[in-house]
Structure 1
Amino acid sequence: MPDAVIAATGLYTPPQSLSNAELVETFNAYVERFNAANAEAIAAGRIGALIPSSAEFIEKASGIKSRFVVDKSGLMDPELMRPVIPERSNDELSILAEIAVEAARDALARWGKPASEIGAVICAASNMQRAYPAMAIEVQQALGIEGFAFDMNVACSSATFGLKTAADFVASGSARAVLMVNPEICSGHLNFRDRDSHFIFGDVATAAIVERADQPVQDGHDAGWEILGTRLKTQFSNNIRNNFGFLNRAAPEGVGQKDKLFTQEGRKVFREVVPMVSDMIVEHARDIGVDPKGLKRLWLHQANINMNEMIGRRVLGREPAPGENVIILDEYANTSSAGSIIAFHKANDDFGAGDTGLICSFGAGYSAGTVFVRKR
């Protein structure tokens, strides 16, 4: 069966950026209003006073300094605290498909080949705009691609699961080339009134093209990346959850309402996911004959700087040198499935033929995926 390569990647970054200071200003205004409106109940001990936040707290807890968002105005309004995204008619391109198409066009330009050579489209993301029709089919139509398309959701691991699926399609002959897109409008699913999580996510879209290794490389374009091995893992946990949806709206008032948006038990996630992912990386590397300590770069899911740094130390067996364990959290925040692809897209220009690296994701499920690559 033919080998698969990552031929190109693409990135779409929304034009609006929201700093920690701006986010905290809005959150603290909400806290002040809430505490004033509930002063009597707080004094009587019936409810607890909300605690204000700070930009320093956010950066220390997460490594995040700012994030890109599709709408900033609603997130800076303490009366609203959600993105304002006008609903579009069914005849218009949806906003999730729109940002996916922008990332795909960037990838296609770097690939140097027409979209007509793509045989399949996978939309792999956490935060789908709708249940159906599939977002991937809308992207397929917008780009004029024939073949087939479908959505997949494995939370923050969606991109590595998508790369594995694309590589399998190429190897089996189902498609000569596959486009995978990861559009994430995480701000539409985040509780901006929760001090522990309101700062975590940002919005973005990434794309990757996987094709047969025996296909010619266009003149002036990059030769891409040989996929050395892919591995997936899932293990059920409620520690990261989002019950968004009409079917779960019937709960009695006050019962389970918080979990209709993103919620997590952060300390439990750290304790359980870090060893799971670290062991998975080391075992996978051993099984395919790669020395994890010899990896030139780690492109990890951008979850939390403390998690990423701990995994980096465990995999490399030492403190990573600057640039070895790529961090884009400070600028982009956690962008769910897109994070590891952003890191890979933005930090690989210095690789020479034969250099190896790891694309790795981990998130709700629990889910984790590893993709070892070698520069062609």
Structure 2
Amino acid sequence: MKESAHPPAPVLCGLGTWLPPHVVTNDDLSQELDTCDEWIRSRTGIGRRHVVQPGVATSNLAVEAGRRALKSAGMETVDAVIVATTTPDRQCPATAPLVASELGLGTVPAFDVGAVCTGFLYALATAAGFLATGSARTVMVIGADTYSSILDPTDRSTRAIFGDGAGAVVLRPGRTNEPGALGRVELASDGRGSDLIMVPSGGSRDPIRAETADRADPYFRMEGKKVFRNAVERMAEASLAVAERFGWGVDDIDLLVAHQANIRIMHAVADRLALPRSRCHVHLDRVGNTAAASIPLALADAAVAGSLRPGDRVVTTAFGGGLTWGAAALRWPDICPA
């Protein structure tokens, strides 16, 4: 039999999500911090977020989303697991092997990808490589984060923005022209901006030791204004690039599912693309910025709401610490998110 001249395309065939049940509203935050619902909504578009309770870790969220993704795909197992996260259960080891074990997947390869809010797209590209080389026939990609574990409890800006959650997809090899097939994932980075989004202490550059603990800063920090400008420019560029690879013009894009960071960033990206804001799906009003979980959570929400239908042309894009950014495009498959 003659081998195909092209490697198989990664095809999205399952989607599952999980949000911790505990909800923190803007009014709840106003009881602890100098803020209010109007201040938060006007600057971020966020009204509430889901937050884990004590004892619940990133792996717990990832496992629940993974189980649902398997159900959505009609599968009981996969050949590999990739977890995109900034908040692993522990600094060492990676969280993915535990997730794979808890899912009952045996000794499949499992590892973490760290690209902050762009992590889900980086993990998708990595999964595509597994499928293209035949290293796996099915791959689960999970974006999961518990940002509440790294937020300064006194910082009203970051606590207002971030929430916890997980989203998982299952990929299989298929044809490049079938619904659900991903083209090349557009990825990029710029380490010159590595200090714009970071957790200053806890890594090898500034380890937390007993003698320096009083000077350590283990919390998430972000320079919002500089991040805003970079995020809009980079996500718009990446979105155009992946659309062009599919032969789409802006008018051909049925839905833009951007990383749910801030409503003003999302609208600015749509405006720069000359795409009607009505085609930019918004989910962060109910969940906040869920980092690596953002895109799969938003895709599932759009599909359930009916704003994303089988055959629709969708572009996803994200920007995160590193700095990292990227985009992917596909025709939406006929799947039921779980």
Tell me, yes or no, whether TM beats 0.5.
Answer: yes
* Deviation of 1:361 (Å): 1.3
CA distance in 1 between partners of 2:183 and 2:294 (Å): 21
TM-score, normalised with respect to structure 2: 0.88
1:144 maps to which of 87, 101, 104: 104
Maintained 8 Å contact 2:85/2:116: yes
Quick one: structure 1 residues 272 and 96, their matched pair in 2 at CA, closer, same or farther if it must change by over 3 Å?
Answer: closer
Q: Confirm or deny that 1:22 pairs with 2:20.
A: no
CA distance in 2 between partners of 1:2 and 1:66 (Å): 41
1:274 counterpart SS class: helix
* Deviation of 1:352 (Å): 4.9
2:158 counterpart SS class: coil
CA distance in 2 between partners of 1:224 and 1:25 (Å): 47
CA distance in 2 between partners of 1:62 and 1:13 (Å): 20
1:1-376 equivalences under 5 Å are: 1-27=7-33, 52-71=34-53, 85-86=54-55, 95-115=57-77, 118-145=78-105, 146-213=107-174, 225-236=180-191, 237=193, 238-245=195-202, 247=204, 248=206, 249-250=208-209, 257-258=216-217, 260-315=218-273, 317-321=274-278, 324-348=279-303, 350=306, 351-376=308-333
* Deviation of 1:181 (Å): 1.4
2:229 counterpart SS class: helix
Maintained 8 Å contact 1:64/1:333: yes
* Deviation of 1:318 (Å): 4.1
Report the AA paired with residue 133 of structure 1: P
Maintained 8 Å contact 1:337/1:361: no
1:372 counterpart SS class: strand
Maintained 8 Å contact 1:201/1:334: yes
* Deviation of 1:106 (Å): 0.7
Maintained 8 Å contact 1:234/1:367: yes
CA distance in 2 between partners of 1:291 and 1:353 (Å): 19
Match in the other structure for 1:43: none
Maintained 8 Å contact 1:67/1:333: yes
* Deviation of 1:340 (Å): 1.2
Consecutive aligned runs of 4 or more in structure 1 exceeding 6 Å deviation: none
Quick one: structure 1 residues 244 and 292, their matched pair in 2 at CA, closer, same or farther if it must change by over 3 Å?
Answer: farther
* Deviation of 1:135 (Å): 1.0
Task: Specify every segment of 5 or more residues in structure 1 that has no aligned partner in the other structure, as ranges.
Answer: 28-51, 72-84, 87-93, 215-222
* Deviation of 1:169 (Å): 0.9
Please provide the CA RMSD for this pair. 2.0
Maintained 8 Å contact 1:229/1:288: no
* Deviation of 1:224 (Å): 5.9
Percentage of pairs with the same residue: 29
Q: What count of residue pairs does the alignment treat as equivalent? A: 317
Deviations along 1:141-160, one digit per CA (max 9) or x if unpaired, are 11222421111110001101
Report the AA paired with residue 266 of structure 2: N
Task: Specify every segment of 5 or more residues in structure 2 that has no aligned partner in the other structure, as ranges.
Answer: 1-6, 334-338
1:26 counterpart SS class: coil
CA distance in 2 between partners of 1:327 and 1:182 (Å): 18
TM-score, normalised with respect to structure 1: 0.79
Report the AA paired with residue 106 of structure 1: R
